[in-house]
Structure 1
Amino acid sequence: MARTAAKKVSNVFVWILMGLLFVALAGFGIGSFNGGASRVGSVGDVEITAEDYFRALNNEINAQIAQTGQAVSFAQIRARGIDAQVLAGLTARAALSHESAEMGISVGDAEVARQISQIAAFQNTAGQFDRNTYEFVLQQQGSSPRDFEEDTREDVARALLQTAVIGGLTPNEIFAETIAAYQAETRDFTRLAVTEGDLPTPIAEPTDAELEAYYEEFPERFTRPEARRITYAWITPSAIMDDVEIDEVALQELYNDRIDEYVQPERRLLERLIFGSDAEVEAALAAIAAEETDFDTLVEDRDLTLEDVDMGVIAADDLSDAAAAIIFSDDESELLGPVPTPLGPALFRVNAVLQASEVPFEDARDDLSAELAQESARRAIDDMREELDDLLASGATLEEMGADTAMTLGTIDYTPASEEGIAAYDNFRDAARAVEQSDFPELLDLSDGGLFALRLDEIVPPSLPPLAEIEGDVADAWQATALREAVADRAAQLVAQLAQGATLEELGDTSEERLIRRQDLLPDLPATTVAQVFQLDAPGDVVMIPGPEAAHIVRLDAINSGVRNAPDTSVILAIMNQTIAQSMATDIFEAYGQALQADAGITTNQGVINSVHASFP
């Protein structure tokens, strides 16, 4: 059962896709291949036609497109080895068909009809099988009822054979229990962080000789990656919005339109629970006062949730006059009732009181002006689009666009790490990755309504800048390395003291971590901490874990076995049992299929296979 991930993916593809019923693939293709039935190969007496192979490849391409949302070429399919997997799947399917025929396994017309009637593509809007739809869909897919029904008959027969081979497999429970125990185990440990402040002497500034040596020892740390040197011209709303004139009338109208945002009445954040009578509300209030229940419990007793009773932010105008008078006249009480509502007397819980607020026009003016200016700038850029497009189409260079239009000229050595300026826009980043030196600049959109055009000038190879140019970066890297080594050395000295009888608590301030699982991540500790803790054999064992700014001394305090009936362990056991059963079924069915193919004999026609491949663009 131990296989590489790639092998497992192949197994799953072949034996699930081709062994488990395969109805969809058998019935839905895109027409015949060159109008004939040339053989790609055969297993025993069962042929694999070129049409079968073409249909399966085409379906796989469509599935890849549906999964990724991107176009997938046949060349990409071949590069991933999917064509070989598809052919292997068809071969497996043919082997099962051959064996089914040899064993005399057949399916009657009634079962074939039942299987087909359950396919949604052949049903009408009422969910019933429709003969006209059935024939139309098959015609559109280049198939016929006779062919599809025969394929379905073979699919069901193969499924019966598969069930006979792998049905009823039950893995030994010890497998799942062993894995579950491993996963559910937790550990307790105590840790001591050794930081720069714990060093006997501070780290000195590096000398010129040390910087030179560090620079020469680690050139890869300072080598700039390959870059795409790009010239661009761009214009954005924020770049021209200061030049846009703001109409005061439009500004006042916008404020008036947004008046509900700027002038808000007093409001309450409310929850409401309806009762059958005032007496029931009063009884509920009395029980709460006597600490016999609370509002949350009352809600649960009605089989409701807090979301069901949440009213959100409510103003007085949102309530009846009588309810508003009770709720908005009390700023102190959390629970109010009985309160009359159209649904009956209610108990209200006030979660927050939001005082009335008003933002005058003068205070809102700057924000409103910026919004109007931004919108006006976007419209102005949109008005420029045709003129800018025409200039580029007529051969204007980006330098001319920067000099003669409102666009700004710039250059960038673009790398995947570039994020500043125009490189902050996803549209530019996509274009920068795709542009070639032979491409002519074209006008493209930015997400904020701006426009840009770009040109690839050259590919700049990776380069190591002179030390003088990056001395600060080298000094920072030297300091980081020196700190990491110094705290690790100091931590090692403390571990030696532990070996001589000292306790971890005597060496400094410690922290405890309890019930840590193998899959837990501890954000304040090095990424390897949990893994290294689980490599310790017994309580009392110690490990030193270096980190960039601190080294950590970790002492294992306890190993806690997983509880067999705990909810988490039960879930793991169920998942493990299912996974092991599926893995066993896959392995057994694969071995069975290989035996069938070896016994029946496989033939392939590479010429026909190549012809099918050549039919894809």
Structure 2
Amino acid sequence: MLRSMRDGAKSGVLKFFLMGLLVLAAGGLVLTDVGGFFRGGVSATDVAKGKGFKIGYQQFDIVVRRTLAQQGISPQQAYQFGLIDQILNREIQARMISNEAIEYGLRIGDDTLVKQIAELTAPIASEGQSKKDALQSVLRQQGISETEFISSIRADLRNTVFRNALTGGTGTISDETAKDLYQFENETRDIQYFTLTNASVKGIEVPTDMQLETYYGTMKNQFLIPERRSITIATLKTEMLEDQIEITEDDLKEIYEDNIAQYEKEEQRTVHQSILNNADDAQKVADQVKSGKSLEKATLSVTGKKDGYLGENNFSKNGLLDEVAEPVFTATTNDVVGPIETALGFHVIQLKKIIPARVEPFDSVKKSIRNELLQERLIDEMSDTANTIDDRLASGEALEEIVSDIGLTTEKLADFSMGGTNKKDKDLFKSYDSDKSEILEASFEYEQGETSPVMELADGRYITIRVDAITERAYKPFKDVKAAVKKQWLATQRDAANRLRVSDAMNKLKGETSFTDVAKELGVTVRTKKKLNRYDEVKEPLTANTLRRLFSADLDTAISENNKDGHIIAQATALNMPDPAKASKDDLEKVRAQNQGALGQDILTQYVNTLSKKYKVRINKRLLDQMYGTAPASGN
């Protein structure tokens, strides 16, 4: 199955690998929560770490915010819904599989990479952009460099090939198995159930302040106020130095003369050109042009449309197709050349002008030479000035003096977390998106009053960062959150008491007491549902897990399950099994298709489960709590 992943792979290795997958499948090992394996042993700035990789908090935060940008929810909300864990698990899985692919010797060739990038940029390029401009547009949208983009695409391709090799060749589903699956998927059950809500529990004593303070100590992480910082960013821009750069006429002439070959222009021809689909139309067009009609009008007259007319263009000889070049460059002004057949069709060309070889005069290129020279000198001047700023800061000079002397611009960003957001969850670093990670890292690396070394931004600017204020991480005082603590304490007590009611009810149902009698003793109503399918979407008080368990349990065997209001107790009272002989061919093919993909996914899931142990992955839950666990609140 993995032979295609590496030339010369030994069959013994592959057999061992396949056997490992079969053992995993037989053992029923299923990865339901990758995060469950990972706890502890991670540095303070990494959200996750494994053998051969780590995921820093700024890097991960960028991924989170890009992922959530189109969802319309904040990272804090996503954390509550478990989406942050899913994003992190996805990132971990991608790195593990990438490492495995590299270990197996899988490489993505440049031709494949170029094709993938072309497909990615094609939809944008088709709207009037060149492929190069389209690629730059993608890079700006993603906020990454071209090198990072290419590395990312190569890694994605490598992972995809590896996954496909892993899940491909998983066999086919026989007719008998398809019929069994058809029965399984179309079975329905009748059920009865009742609910025991936490809110219905009575007699919970009001807690004392001492009890609440003790409880607060066990849950204070819920009231964590993350460390926040305020900084000043001083920026050096090219326009600040342009007036200091002197470029003389002699400088420009020297460059022009030293590079005169660059300004030599080959002999060119100005032509009008049409490309037709067949020889007959091409000949008719050529005849009409020779009779005095313009090439554009002749093309429209013969074909009924202007699509074949390419307009007027200047060409050097090596800029034309070989079949066309010689006839065009031996023609004289106003000659009609063609029809000439090439791979593109039948060309009809009218020569409009002969442009002799020449050297562009100095005055016509002086402006472009000056702009290029200015940019070169600005780069040098920017670098020299940045080094000067570094030296002056290292000598202890105040940032304000340097700002005033050089004319730097300053921006103050106040009270933001490690993720770069303020208390209202506004991203303060949106304008620095490509450099956000590095800026945040420097902002949290230095102590109050310290200034970072000068760093270059992706757009060519230079900045230095001074830490103006640090608000250490803390916990909201008990007195400020007492009401919330009390509410949660009462909810916990009601839930505990309700669980006792559920346990007592389940014990009675295992005995001689009927389902209806137990409900009557508890003062609740029994409800029923008919012909439920295992894949039906159910609403509260039923849950997807309740439905799954009801289809796994025997008839008239009660199960209990949590729901958002408390607990539900339910049992299946009847099952209805479809006759597989009545299944159509399309029904069976649909079953095959659905389960073939699921079989491959099961193999991938079990494989990732094993990798998580091999790579000894650890997740920094404390850092995730600090970054996303506390919703923004005013006044803190």
TM-score (norm. length: structure 1): 0.35
Q: Which has the higher contact order (CA 8 A, sep 6+)?
A: 2
| TM-score between both structures, scaled by the size of structure 2 | 0.34
